[in-house]
Amino acid sequence: MNPELWIEEERPAIGGELFASADPATGGTLVMLARGKAEDIDLAVSAARRAQPLWAATDPNERARILWRAGELLMERREELARIEASDSGKPLSNALAIDVPRTADTFFYYSGWATKLEGSTIPVRGPFLNYTLRQPLGVIGAITPWNFPLLLAARKIAPALAVGNAVVLKPPEEASLSSLFLARVLADAGLPPGLLSVVTGLGEEAGAALVAHPGVAKIAFTGGTDTGRLVMRNASVTLKRLSLELGGKSPNILFADADVGAAATAAVSAAFYNQGELCTAGSRLLVERSVHDRVVEAVIEGARKLVTGPPLDPATQVGPLVSEGHHQRVLDYVAQGEAEGARRVLGGPWGPQGYYLSPTVFTGVDPSMRIAREEIFGPVLAVMPFDTLEEAAALAEATEFGLAAGIWTRDIGKAHRLAARIQAGTVWINTYNRFDAASPYGGTRQSGFGRENGRAVLDELTELKSVWVALD
């Protein structure tokens, strides 16, 4: 049976239409999904607006209990959920089991705690007045997610929004919607009242655009590509919605000669190729101090060659297929473009008789002006570039329009901190890479977007600050 939309319960799209979601491992159809459109979004927003005031007035301890229970249920059902996420998105099952599902559960555990801890302040104002602030939920949050971490990115939007008393309507990615539908059921089983989380599968230009345009939605929390982000921002302006945009990246991973070069090279491999490079923070530009460049390239090639490319459900797989035919072709075009522009492909290429595979691909001799050095590829393609001085490294790091993340590898702690402060990026890792925690704020700057998810920071973006004045005389 085909999965349906989730609006208070399972139900078909009002128009009754379906669309195909592909199997990245074979190129066939994995599942037919309900094609939600504007009328389904409208139904979901109405349900959310009905349910939200009562939820906002619910004892925060009860909201906390439901979110905590959701985390527990996610862990109890992790095998099933991980298989769904892997077969739908192409990510290795081992990753889904070790990272996607547990981190999703962590997100619910973490925000469960915040339900009872959101406080206002009292402010010493002029005159005989008591002035205090209230933090109040915005109402209905529209969440829009991409296919690379569909479950975890949905949780980052849903858990904090529910914790502080909002309702959520989620438009998941058309290539990988199944884990979002699973999550809706988990939350219902955890005791979340109907209407507070709806999942409307469908196309971005239909269901997604309708969510952005809907006057009953207070805020859009969007993760996706930079061009789509621009469109969402334009369309959200009509109703003056709040907005957070988590967009693309082309993150520099900067390796100085005074680092633990072996450890840095090992980490550079996973920074570039984890999740097939379909990771917004992928360390897709490896900047290496010239004196250790050749040694690092050798170590990276050796490490990348050992990664096992294969079907997502094979427990040995470390690099799965790319999500779709269109995306696969786009990544292959970048590889061809890199060669045409004169970079040297020293490792990698298309893999397997079927499906959308590309084994880890490494380019050296990359000039910063080349497209493979500047544009987000979102696949397992690494560009290695040498530098001579710290100034040159800093300039190279910022030679793209993005500002999502950066890595710095050095034993000189002063240099590391100075550079971390200087680089324009939402996250900087020193002597490590791709560390995330539900407690630590995450987001971008420049063309990587604005707004923060995770940590305390997102709660400010999901609540309205109200100032209350009381005359004391």
Q: Which residues bind ligand NDP (CB under 6 A)?
A: 144-148, 171, 173-174, 203-205, 208-209, 212, 223-225, 228, 231-232, 246-249, 280, 376, 378, 404, 444, 448
What is the side-by-side order of every strand in the sheet holding 129-137? 122-123, 129-137, 463-471
Report the alpha-carbon distance of residue 455 to residue 443 in Å, rounded: 11
Judge whether 17 counts as a catalytic residue.
no
Check: CB of residue 351 under 8 Å from CB of residue 322: no
| Residue with Cβ nearer ligand NDP (147 or 429) | 147
Of 4, 246, 278, 289, the catalytic one is 246
The distance of closest approach from Cβ of residue 183 to ligand NDP in the complex, given in angstroms and rounded to an integer, is 15
| Residue with Cβ nearer ligand NDP (303 or 407) | 407
Number of other residues whose CB lies within 10 A of the CB of residue 78: 19
The distance of closest approach from Cβ of residue 181 to ligand NDP in the complex, given in angstroms and rounded to an integer, is 14
Report the alpha-carbon distance of residue 439 to residue 430 in Å, rounded: 18
Check: CB of residue 183 under 8 Å from CB of residue 13: no
The distance of closest approach from Cβ of residue 426 to ligand NDP in the complex, given in angstroms and rounded to an integer, is 8
- E strand or H helix at 427, and its extent? strand 427-430
The distance of closest approach from Cβ of residue 442 to ligand NDP in the complex, given in angstroms and rounded to an integer, is 7
| Residue with Cβ nearer ligand NDP (41 or 66) | 41
- Of 179, 245, 248, 239, residue with least CA distance to 211: 239
3-state secondary structure of 68: helix
Tokens representing 326 are: 């269109």
Residue 351 bridge partners (DSSP):
357
- Of 309, 308, 269, residue with least CA distance to 286: 269
| Residue with Cβ nearer ligand NDP (23 or 246) | 246
Position closest to ligand NDP via CB: 204
Judge whether 80 counts as a catalytic residue.
no
Report the alpha-carbon distance of residue 366 to residue 386 in Å, rounded: 9
The distance of closest approach from Cβ of residue 324 to ligand NDP in the complex, given in angstroms and rounded to an integer, is 9
| Residue with Cβ nearer ligand NDP (51 or 397) | 397
Report the alpha-carbon distance of residue 75 to residue 286 in Å, rounded: 36
> The dihedral of CA 382, 384, 389, 395: what is its sign?
negative
| Residue with Cβ nearer ligand NDP (51 or 140) | 140
Angle, vertex CA 275, rays to CA 74 and CA 203, nearest 5: 75
Of 175, 280, 289, 453, the catalytic one is 280
Report the alpha-carbon distance of residue 72 to residue 81 in Å, rounded: 13
The distance of closest approach from Cβ of residue 249 to ligand NDP in the complex, given in angstroms and rounded to an integer, is 6
Instruction: Show which residues are catalytic.
Output: 246, 280
